[in-house]
A and B are shown apart, each in its own frame.
Chain A
Amino acid sequence: MVRYIFKTAGRHLALAIVLGLLWLALSGEEHWSNPTLAVFGAGSVLLCVWLADRAGMLDKEGVPTRVFPGIISYMFWLTLEIGKANVAVVRHALSPKLSISPGMLRVPAYQASDIGKTIFANSITLTPGTVTVDVYEGSILVHALTEELADMEGITSMGERVCALDGPEGREWARQKRLEAQEAGREQVSS
């Protein structure tokens, strides 16, 4: 029964819960205890869910329920990475002699969903010292400020973390893509 409800109305329910919590957080105590205002709040939440449903926005991109469980720990990890990169870039900006060595690099991006790819590209851009310049089918073109910041392994491991947000299927898909890319690379080398 519960599973049936989640399967048919899961995204509606998730959006309603998130909007409800948002309303509770933004309106403050004196609003929750007032019955009239509480009913207005619940009504506006329902109206928003209905409008989003009518606009066809309640799909896997509009309400990415699959991403929700892992995104919090990912954000904490990303904050640490951003902190490290910030210190590196600030050191270059403040050092008396400019010692930067910019370059471009192509990072493989095997995210199964478009939202996964978007999270990956935006995470790269958000980390100072690396900016996503272009996005292709299976890779991302990145401009890096120095050779140390153009850390291929670090960015690839970030990509793997984003793949994990797509759930077990996403991870499996990424693994297969990686194997295919390796095979293709080997053929190129041998021919």
Chain B
Amino acid sequence: MAAIIDFLSWALFLVGSLFVFAGALGLVRFPDFYTRIHAGGVTDTFGSELILLAMALQSDDFTTIIKLFFIALFLLLTSPVATHAIAHSAWVGKLNPLVGKNLRYPDKREDL
């Protein structure tokens, strides 16, 4: 039983790290501000949550699991607020996003 849980936990660590790595890679590769935020979203959600779940499987103490659960919950509640704050300030600051398959800036904001 302990071996199975250990194996599961390490698998989750690896998958979570893969998500964090893919998020970081997307942050570099995507072309403009708004698309880069999406890459950050991957790290925020499954990247961190899977790693927290793996940690919960590693711990043998109930209070530790509860604390990890609350960290995961507050991450889920606060990270979209921060993401929205950044995206909204860019939008209000008149930064136009790239649109379409050939990634062009729109001529006017009304075209979006």
Contact = CB atoms under 8 A, between A and B. Distances in A.
Contacts of B25: 93-94
A92 B81 CA distance: 24
A86 B42 contact: yes
B15 to A, nearest CB: 10
B22 A102 contact: no
Interface residues of B, number: 42
Given A90-B22, A128-B38, A122 B84 contact: yes
B46 to A, nearest CB: 4
Contacts of A143: 34, 37, 87, 97
B38 A89 contact: yes
A104 B100 CA distance: 10
A57 to B, nearest CB: 17
B66 interface: yes
Contact of B80 (A25, A90, A125): A125
B83 A131 contact: yes
B99 A125 contact: no
Nearest to A86: B46
B79 A89 contact: no
A89 B101 contact: no
Interface in B28-51: 29-32, 34-35, 37-39, 41-42, 44-46
Contact of A129 (B38, B76, B98, B100): B38
A18 to B, nearest CB: 13
Contact of A28 (B34, B42, B62, B99): B62
Interface residues of A, number: 34
B19 interface: yes
Interface string B53-77: 0000000001100110000000011
Nearest to B24: A93
Contact of B101 (A27, A101, A129, A130): A101
A94 B19 CA distance: 10
B30 A93 contact: yes
A90 B27 CA distance: 11
A26 B41 contact: no
A122 B29 CA distance: 25
A152 to B, nearest CB: 15
Interface of A: 25-28, 82-83, 86, 89-90, 92-94, 98, 100-104, 121-123, 125-134, 141, 143, 145
8 contacts: A26-B63, A89-B26, A90-B42, A93-B25, A104-B97, A122-B81, A129-B38, A133-B84
Interface of B: 18-19, 22-23, 25-26, 29-32, 34-35, 37-39, 41-42, 44-46, 62-63, 66-67, 76-77, 79-81, 83-84, 87-88, 91-92, 97-101, 103, 112
